[in-house]
Structure 1
Amino acid sequence: MPSAFAYSAETEGMVVRVQPSYLAAQSDPDANHWVWAYQIEIVNLTTAPLQVVARRWTITDAFGRVEEVRGSGVVGEQPVIQPGDSFAYASGCPLSTPSGSMVGAYFVQDQAGHIFEIAIPHFSLDVPDTRRTLN
């Protein structure tokens, strides 16, 4: 995992850090296909274990087209994150434009069964060395 994350958000003692990166080798601009990877770190700064039970993503391309993605857990897991510990994973996102953005939330459950939402920071997906588009 990268030591410095480009984007970070904190909600109720849970920190979500994101580092996106463009995958030129998996992209084919001539076919309108661009691919990014993103590394996520979820840090539990609370005093209780918390479990990530679901996620919601809003993915927007350079034309303003929006895709909503919802699912159980993250990368096939529903990790329990102990106090002071973290969970890290990597995933990816294809787009039909050379830029876009992602934002979302994780749904986290405490030991009493209460579920609350923690923010995933809004982050930009941009091909390096191109003019940036505000998404």
Structure 2
Amino acid sequence: MEAEQSTPGQLVKVSTHVDFIEEQSDQYQDRFVFSYTITIENNSDKTLQLISRSWLITDADGNKVSVEGDGVVGQQPILQSGQRYRYSSGSIIKTPLGTMEGFYIMKDLQGNKHKINIPVFGLAIPNIVN
């Protein structure tokens, strides 16, 4: 399944792309595996460093998991004005439908911190919703 979403007109634009990983999933074990690719684009005139992330992952039963940590995929990338950074990661939930949302904390060269919201995006097996 493909799902893409972005937040335009922001200091930083965040775009998401989601795929269902059928070969790693097992519906009889309540295991649904999704990969997601995030593209972060620095639309500001400042150099920004991504220092931390916070995710809220919710399955269709309402179970919530919070994930917080430094950077993303072991990195704290620095984005010059106009630069993009792309990374991929994954999530495992117990239902064929769920959501993710969260935020990044980014810091400019002056040490000012900026909260960059990541709007809710769906995790869904193909053809579960029209």
TM score, norm. by length of structure 1: 0.90
- In structure 1, the residue matched to 2:15 is 17
- Checking the alignment, whether the CA contact within 8 Å between 2:56 and 2:64 is kept in structure 1 is yes
Deviation at 1:130, TM superposition (A): 2.1
Alignment of 1:1-135 (within 5 A): 6-10=4-8, 12-131=10-129
Q: In 2, distance between residues paired with 1:65 and 1:52?
A: 28
Q: In 2, distance between residues paired with 1:10 and 1:66?
A: 27
Deviation at 1:26, TM superposition (A): 0.7
Q: Structure 2 vs 1, CA of residues 88 and 80 (structure 1 numbering), >3 Å: closer, same or farther? A: same
Aligned-pair identity (%) = 36
Q: In 2, distance between residues paired with 1:44 and 1:130?
A: 34
Equivalent position SS for 2:82: coil
Amino acid at match of 1:124: G
1:8-27 CA distances to partner (integer Å, 9 max, x unpaired)?
A: 12474100000111000110
Structure 2 unaligned blocks of 5 or more:
none
1:99-126 CA distances to partner (integer Å, 9 max, x unpaired)?
A: 1000000000011111110011210111
Name the stretch that deviates more: 108-117 or 10-19. Answer: 10-19
Structure 1 unaligned blocks of 5 or more:
none
Deviation at 1:50, TM superposition (A): 0.2
TM score, norm. by length of structure 2: 0.94
Q: In 1, distance between residues paired with 2:9 and 2:48?
A: 13
Deviation at 1:32, TM superposition (A): 0.8
